[in-house]
Chains A and B, each alone.
Chain A
Amino acid sequence: MTKIGLPKALFYYQHSAVWEGFFRNLGCEVIVSGDTNKEILDRGVRCCSNDTCLPVKVFHGHVDILKGNVDYVFIPRYTCLINREYTCPKFCGLPEMTYLNLDKQVRLLEISLNVETGHMEAAKGLKTVSKSLDLDYRAAEEAFQNALRELEQGYKKCENSFGEPVAKERDRKRQTLAVLGHPYMIYDKYLSMKLLEKLRSRNISIVTPADLEYQTKRRHAVPYQEKVFWEVGLDNLGSAFVFAGSENIDGIIYLTPFACGVDSFVIEFIERRLKSDYTVPFLKLTVDEHTGEAGFDTRLEAFLDMIG
C-alpha cells in the first residue's frame, strides 16, 4: 500500500479530515507526522531562509521528518478556496518552496485549489496523483470532488472540533476569553506554548473563530465586509468584532507568529477599532523560535490579573 505523509502543520489544522479521507478513499495509507516538538522546529529552521515565518519553518520540519518514512508527502496548493478570498502567498508557493528548501530530497504530491478558475489547475495535480498511485484518473477525480464538497460544507457549518461551545448566557463563575490567530498557531500546542491548556487549567472557558459561523464572521469584518481579503484574515477580523461586541467575553488574546504579513495588517485594523469603539481588553502575544516560555507566561498572567 502506498504511504502518504500529511505534515501536521498549516492546513492540517483545518482540513485534515478532508485530505485523510481523500487518500484513504484512493486506497492509501495515511501517515501524519507527530505533534510539533523541538527537533521538528530545529530541522525547519535549518532549511529555511531567516525571515520565513515560524509556521512555515515548522511545516518544513514536519516534511523533513516525514520524508524518510513515506512514499509521498502531500502538500495542497491553496490559492483561493472561497470566491474573492485569498490565502497568504506562501500557501501558493508552498509545494515548490518545500521542495527547493529541502534540496529536492522529497517526493511530493500536489493539488492546486482555486475556486476562481473552477479548479482547472487541479487536473494536472490529479493526473500526477493518479499516475503515482497507479490509479484510474476518474477515481482520483471522483475522490477529489468528494473532498471539495466536504471542504465546502466545512465552511458553511460551524466547525467546532477544537474549541468549546460559546456560552449562551454569561457564566458568572467562569471567565470567557476569545483566542484569535491562525488555526495552525492556536491549536499547535508547541507553537502556542500550550496557551489553550494554560487558560483551561485556570478554569477559563475559551472561544475561537472556529466557534462562529462563516457568515457571521464575514458580516462583521470591518472594513472588508464585501471586499477582497485574506481568508484567515477575514476570520480573525470578523471574530474580533463579534467577540468584542458580546457581553460574555472578558478579553481577547491574539496569538501571532513573529513578522506574519497577514497579521501585521489584521491586528492593526482590530486594535484601532477596539480602541475607539469598544472597551474589551486586548492582548497581542508574539512568538518566534527564540521565545522563552517564562516571558510568555508572565505576559499572560499580567493580562489575566488585569481583567480580574
Chain B
Amino acid sequence: MKITFPHMGNLFIPLKVLFDILEIDYAVPSLSRCKFEEGIAHSPEFACLPFKITLGDLLDGIEQGADHILYGGGCGQCRFGYYADLHEAILKSAGYDVTMIRLDSSNMTFQELMGKLKPFTEGKSKARLVRGILSAVNTVLMADRLSKTAAWIRCREQQKGDTDKVMRRFNQRIIKAKGYKEIKQLIHSARKQLRSIPVDLEFKPLKVAIVGEIYTSIDPFVNMEMESKLGSLGVEVHNHLTISSWVIDHGIKKVLPLKLKNKAHERGKELFDTDDIGGHGLQTVGNAILSAQKGFDGVIHTYPFTCLPEIVAQCSFGEIQDQYGIPIMTLIIDELTGKAGYETRIEAFVDMLERRRQLELQKTMREAF
C-alpha cells in the first residue's frame, strides 16, 4: 500500500512527517509538476487551474506506484468540494485502479474521519498517532515561519538572489528528506542560512499584500513565483493565506467546541451582507480592507480563471479602492498564462506604487516646510 496526495503549497512537508512517523509508504509528486500537461489533457476545459494541476499531481504519484490517494475537501459553494469525486471518475475512466480516501472536514464527525483512515492507523498505537499529528502541525508552523522569514529578507538582501538560492536548495533537499528529525533539522539550517544573508536594514521596502484564492496565492508553481519576483523588485510580500491558517481554520477550529471567527471573513461582510459567497471570497474582501488599514502600499489579488467566489469578490475592489485609497491589481491565472506578460504587469504595478509613494512623500514635505 502506497499513498499519494496532491500538492498545495508546502503541505507536503507536514504530510511527509506524518507518514514517516506512522510508517506509511508514500509518493510525493514532483515539485516541477512533470505531469502538468497530462493533467490538463484529462480535465474539463472550464475546470479551474488547481483542479487540472492536482490531477497532474495524482497521475505523477500513481506513476510512482501509489494505489491510495489522500484528498482533503469540503462541501459548499466552491468547486473544491467536488474535486475528489470528479478526479475519481476521471482516473477510473482513464484506466487507473486507485482508492480515494476523501476527508471532508465540513461534513464529517471525528469518528467518521478515523473510520476512513482506518487502513492506515490500524495496528498503530494511539500515542504514535498523536505524536504524528502534533509533529505534523508543528512542522507546518515552522515551514510557514520559514517562508515568512524568507519574504522579509528577500526584499532587503544586498546581493539579489541570495534568498532564492537558499530556498531552492531547501526545496530540493526537503523532498528527499525522511523523518521528523531530519526535516526539522533542514528547516532550522535553512533558517540559519537565511539569517546569515547580509541585509540592508535602512532600506524601506514597499509593502504589498497578496489576497485571493488560496491555491494560486500560496503555490509558487501556479503563481509563477510571484513572491520571489516581487521580493527581487524590493517589495515586502505579506501572504495572508497560508497552509497553517488553512489547517487551523478547517481542522483545529472545527474540532474545538468554540465558535471562533475569522477576522478577515467578518470584515468582508462590510461589503457583502451575507455569510458566505463560497471559498475564500469573503476573506479576500476582508483581507483587502485590513491591508489598507494596516498601511500597505498595494494589494495583488490573484485567482484561477473561472473561479466562482473570487469573481464575486472582485466586484467590491472598485469600492475598496475608492473608500480606503489602496491600489488593487487583479491577476487571473490559467494554464495558458505567459510568464513574460504576467511579470510585466507585476513590474508596472510596483513602479506605480513606488511613484505613488514618492508623490505622497513630496506632498508631506511641501506641507511641512
Write the residues of chain A forming the contact surface with B, with a CB cutoff of 8 angstroms. 49, 51-52, 77, 79, 86-90, 92-93, 95-97, 100-101, 104, 110, 112, 121, 124, 223-224, 228-230, 258-261, 263-265, 267-269, 272-273, 275-276
Contacts and interface: CB of A to CB of B under 8 A. Distances in A.
B77 A87 contact: yes
B319 A100 contact: yes
B314 A276 contact: no
A52 to B, nearest CB: 6
Nearest to A256: B46
Contacts of B312: 89-90, 92-93, 97
B273 A96 contact: yes
Contacts of B315: 49, 93, 96-97, 100-101
Given A100-B271, A259-B46, 13 more contacts: A86-B76, A89-B279, A89-B281, A89-B308, A90-B308, A93-B312, A95-B273, A259-B306, A261-B307, A264-B46, A264-B306, A269-B89, A273-B89
A51 B89 CA distance: 28
A104 B93 CA distance: 49
Given A223-B85, A265-B47, A100 B316 contact: yes
Contacts of B316: 96, 100
18 contacts: A51-B332, A79-B276, A87-B77, A88-B308, A90-B311, A93-B272, A93-B315, A100-B318, A101-B315, A223-B85, A261-B79, A261-B307, A264-B306, A265-B44, A267-B44, A268-B47, A268-B90, A273-B89
Nearest to B88: A223
Nearest to A97: B315
Contacts of A93: 272, 274, 277, 281, 312-313, 315
Among A92, A95, A124, A223, the most chain B Cβ lie within 10 Å of the Cβ of: A92
B311 A228 contact: no
Contacts of A51: 305-306, 311, 332
Contacts of A272: 89-90, 93
A264 B44 contact: yes
Given A96-B315, A100-B315, A89 B277 contact: yes
Contacts of B272: 93, 96
Minimum-distance CB pairs A-B, first 3: A89-B278, A264-B46, A93-B312
Chain B contact patch, size range:
35 or more
B306 A261 contact: yes
A264 B311 contact: no
Contacts of B89: 223, 268-269, 272-273
Contacts of B44: 264-265, 267-268
A265 B281 CA distance: 20
Contacts of B77: 86-89, 92, 230
B137 to A, nearest CB: 28
B276 A259 contact: no
Among A89, A92, A112, A261, the most chain B Cβ lie within 10 Å of the Cβ of: A89
B23 to A, nearest CB: 33
Contacts of B306: 51, 259, 261, 264
B278 A92 contact: yes
Nearest to A268: B44
Interface string B285-324: 0000000000000000000011111011111101100000
A269 B309 CA distance: 22
Interface in B72-95: 75-79, 81-82, 85-86, 89-90, 93
B107 interface: yes
Given A51-B332, A96-B315, A268 B308 contact: no
Nearest to B311: A52
A124 to B, nearest CB: 8
B48 interface: yes
B55 to A, nearest CB: 11
A283 to B, nearest CB: 15
A228 B81 contact: yes
